[in-house]
Amino acid sequence: MNPNKLLGSEDKVNSQNHELEQMDLLFDQLFPICRSITGSGVRKTLEILSEKIPRLEVKGVKSGAKVFDWEIPKEWRIHEAWLKGPDGKTIVDLENHNLHIVNYSVPVDQKIPLQTLQGNLYTNKNLPDAIPYVISYYRPRWGFCMTYNEYEKLTDGVYHAYINSELVDGELNYGHAILKGETDKEILISSYICHPSMANNELSGPVVATFLHQRLAQWKKRRFTYRFVFVPETIGSITYLHQHGNDVKQNIHTGMVLTCLGGNRPLSYKMSRNENAPINHIVQHVIKTKSLEAVVRPFTPIHGSDERQYSSPGFNLPIGQMSRMVYGNYPEYHTSLDNKGLMGIESLLKSVNEIELILRAIELDGYYVNQCPYGEVKLDKHGLYPDINEKGTGLVTQKEQLNKILMLLNYADGEHSLTEIAEKCNCTILDLESIVMLLKDKDLIKGPFIEKRGLTT
């Protein structure tokens, strides 16, 4: 679906243009921060997000704490880092780009001949103008990343490698915000905040999450409670599960990880490992009924983002992952070329629109129960039916609505979900929204219920 179709009115267009500007500003605030899985970059990022999400609660877990099979690492603090050539000129400097340093580099202040130094230099020959993104969180290393073109120009001689960093007892930080709905059943929306200065594979996630939060906060009502989670990838979601996993497991209805949501490609959904995940069914439904143009990827624990943790076998949470220009599937991935121009801010707005549509469908889905289930409802009595059978009384336009009413009343038996009913009607679940509201207003149906329930229950 063209996202503009979701807007419909000039007001909405203006509102979306405003959102686009706000997204752009937020992006520019977050981009220059030198994030890692711990340290001030994460804290600064959470502070900026708090301005948009006032209820965002920021937490920390101390270095050395055990989190399942893992341990919170020491906090990395980076103050200064540069490499100077034999002639004393600066080759690379952290000041110029956050990717120049291997993330979590230990301190060094050494004069080294080029040959020895080469083990500490990282380039990407396939993209000779790109600075690659390299990390070494769990084994002490240091190193510099540079474009292959610069690297090629290096001449023999002694270089000066200087990294002023610390690995100190500190904490790992994350943030979460709970947006209350009518029920305690939760929808989890998680993104990560640990990559320095990359666009698609970092900021697309938290920016989309932030603006999705704003949309949901404005909804007139929410059936579900929404839990927004911002964590460093992997160790952060493991920590989150360690601290809040029981709560999440108990309350969760469904959810998604947001990652790499920029680019011109259609929305790409990675299925939840949990085959009963409502989001699996909804996404397949909206695609099948052409409510949304999107593609589906199977679940795999091999590649991906934090859904790998949420889908670890002890949790197996019913969440999927939303992406667009998928990690590993574009050459600029994990390099300095993954920037705002490549990503495109408009694609983030499109992602917000499309994910909001999916959430609306999830809110609407469930099992409904006809309150007059014995024999047909006498529709005319409830103002729902023409009372003469003759052709040509101008009811043609009402006919489709009438058919949907008959289908919905018949299948509102507590056993057929609204997506199933929509597919029997050859329409999308959102096409039934107005009829559901009408029949609820007239007390002819109750619902939605999450679980199946026999009519007599």
| C-beta neighbour count of 429 within 10 angstroms | 26
Burial of 253 (0-12, 13-18, 19+ CB in 10 A): buried
Q: How far is the CB of 241 from a second copy (least distance, A)?
A: 6
Handedness of CA 439, 440, 442, 443 (dihedral sign): positive
Is the Cβ of residue 27 or residue 411 nearer to a second copy in the bound state?
A: 411
Task: Give yes or no for a contact between 248 and 241, defined as CB atoms under 8 angstroms apart.
Answer: yes
Is the Cβ of residue 58 or residue 372 nearer to a second copy in the bound state?
A: 372
Distances (CA, A) of 126 to 131, 139, 150, 415: 11, 27, 14, 55
390 binds a second copy (CB under 8 A): yes
Q: What secondary structure does DSSP assign to 240-299, as a single string? A: HHHHHHHHHHHHEEEEEEE----SSSPEEEEPPSSTT-HHHHHHHHHHHTTSS-EEEE--
372 binds a second copy (CB under 8 A): yes
> How many residues appear in the chain?
457
Q: How far is the CB of 410 from a second copy (least distance, A)?
A: 4
139 binds a second copy (CB under 8 A): yes
Q: How far is the CB of 431 from a second copy (least distance, A)?
A: 16
What whole-number distance in Å separates Cα of residue 359 and Cα of residue 211?
14
* 175, β-bridge pairs: 58, 230
What whole-number distance in Å separates Cα of residue 368 and Cα of residue 448?
5
Q: What secondary structure does DSSP assign to 292-338, as a single string? A: S-EEEE---SSS-STHHHHTSTTT--SEEEEESS-TTSSTTTTBTT-
Q: How far is the CB of 413 from a second copy (least distance, A)?
A: 4
* Position among 47, 381, 437, 452 found at the interface with a second copy (CB under 8 A): 381
Is the Cβ of residue 6 or residue 372 nearer to a second copy in the bound state?
A: 372
State which of positions 26-85 bind a second copy (CB under 8 A): 67-70
Q: How far is the CB of 147 from a second copy (least distance, A)?
A: 15
* Position among 378, 434, 437, 452 found at the interface with a second copy (CB under 8 A): 378
Q: How far is the CB of 184 from a second copy (least distance, A)?
A: 22
373 binds a second copy (CB under 8 A): yes
- Residue for token digits 């341990």? 71
Task: Give yes or no for a contact between 224 and 185, defined as CB atoms under 8 angstroms apart.
Answer: yes
Q: How many residues sit in the footprint of a second copy (CB under 8 A)?
A: 57
Peptide bond into 448 cis (omega under 30): yes
SS3 of the chain: helix, strand, coil, percent, to 5: 35, 25, 40
138 binds a second copy (CB under 8 A): yes
What whole-number distance in Å separates Cα of residue 272 and Cα of residue 224?
19
x/- letters, 81..120, toward a second copy (CB under 8 A) = ----------------------------------------
Q: Which stretch binds a second copy (CB under 8 A): 56-64, 215-223, 306-314, 318-326?
A: 306-314
411 binds a second copy (CB under 8 A): yes
Q: Which stretch binds a second copy (CB under 8 A): 10-18, 52-60, 107-115, 130-138?
A: 130-138
* 252, β-bridge pairs: 186
- Beta strand 121-122 with 144-145 is parallel
* Position among 32, 64, 128, 301 found at the interface with a second copy (CB under 8 A): 301
* Position among 51, 129, 152, 376 found at the interface with a second copy (CB under 8 A): 376
x/- letters, 415..434, toward a second copy (CB under 8 A) = --------------------
Task: Give yes or no for a contact between 347 and 266, defined as CB atoms under 8 angstroms apart.
Answer: no
Q: How far is the CB of 278 from a second copy (least distance, A)?
A: 19
State which of positions 236-265 bind a second copy (CB under 8 A): 237-238, 241-242, 245
Q: Name the site residues for a second copy (rule: CB under 8 A).
A: 67-70, 122, 124, 132, 134-139, 141, 234, 237-238, 241-242, 245, 273, 300-302, 308-309, 311-316, 334, 370, 372-378, 380-381, 387-391, 403, 406-407, 409-413, 455
